[in-house]
Amino acid sequence: MISLTSPVKTPWHSWPAGLKLGLLCVATMVLFSLENVFLHLAAFAACIGLYSVPGFVFLKVGCKRLVFLWPFLAVIVIWHAVTGTPVEGAVIALRLLTAVGLANLVTMTTRLSDMVEVVKMLLSPLRVLGLKTRPLEIAIALVVRFTPVLAQKGRDLTFAWRARSPKKPKWQIIMPFTLLAIDDAEHVAEALRARGGI
């Protein structure tokens, strides 16, 4: 399964996932309570610093992951230029970039399996109470396994459509696509039951 973890090894990879998530929570809360533009500048610089430690390639990938924010940054810039409040605009834009940047950093330096371990740990109190957490673990595995399978079936349907029509398929393939997913679900459920159930 593809994940967003960076293949570039960084010092942050070896930190425990739980610690990183805890620090991220604290950092995000602090960012949303600060209003001083210089503190936000410092926080943003620190965030870039964290990305720079592992080297240029890592920094570049990190920047690419922030590109999706540009429409929002454009709105903020235009808005605050028009209303004549550039400092407030800078605070909002910097906060957005730092908060999303730090969160992406945790995602980029933590393997999916380590994240799943944290979830299991957080769920352990439920096990003490007698609730079964195994269904959730199976469900996570099923989604990870079936997303590429369904994506492939979607591509096959698109090819089948293209073989019959000069036009591109639009919403028409969603019906057979959903049917395939439902049929798969019925088969997998039967297979799980046949193997002793959950």
Number of residues that bind other proteins (CB under 8 A): 67
Nearer to other proteins by Cβ, of 46 and 179: the residue is 179
Q: Specify the long-range contacts of residues 27-35, CB closer than 8 Å, at least 24 apart.
A: 27/99, 27/102, 28/99, 28/102, 28/103, 31/95, 31/98, 31/99, 32/95, 32/99, 34/91, 34/95, 35/91
Binding pattern for the stretch 84-123 against other proteins, x by CB under 8 A and - elsewhere: ----x--xx---x--xxx-xx-xxx-x-x--xx--x----
C-alpha closest to that of 192 among 125, 130, 148, 146 = 146
Does 154 interact with other proteins (rule: CB under 8 A)? yes
Does 30 interact with other proteins (rule: CB under 8 A)? no
| Largest Cα–Cα separation, the chain | 68
Nearer to other proteins by Cβ, of 42 and 65: the residue is 65
Query: If 0-12 CB within 10 Å is exposed, 13-18 middle and 19+ buried, where does residue 33 land?
Result: exposed
Binding stretches for other proteins (CB under 8 A): 1-5, 24, 28, 65-66, 68-69, 72, 75-76, 79, 88, 91-92, 96, 99-101, 103-104, 106-108, 110, 112, 115-116, 119, 135-136, 138-140, 142-144, 146-147, 149-151, 153-154, 170-171, 174-175, 177-179, 181-186, 188-190, 192-193, 197-198
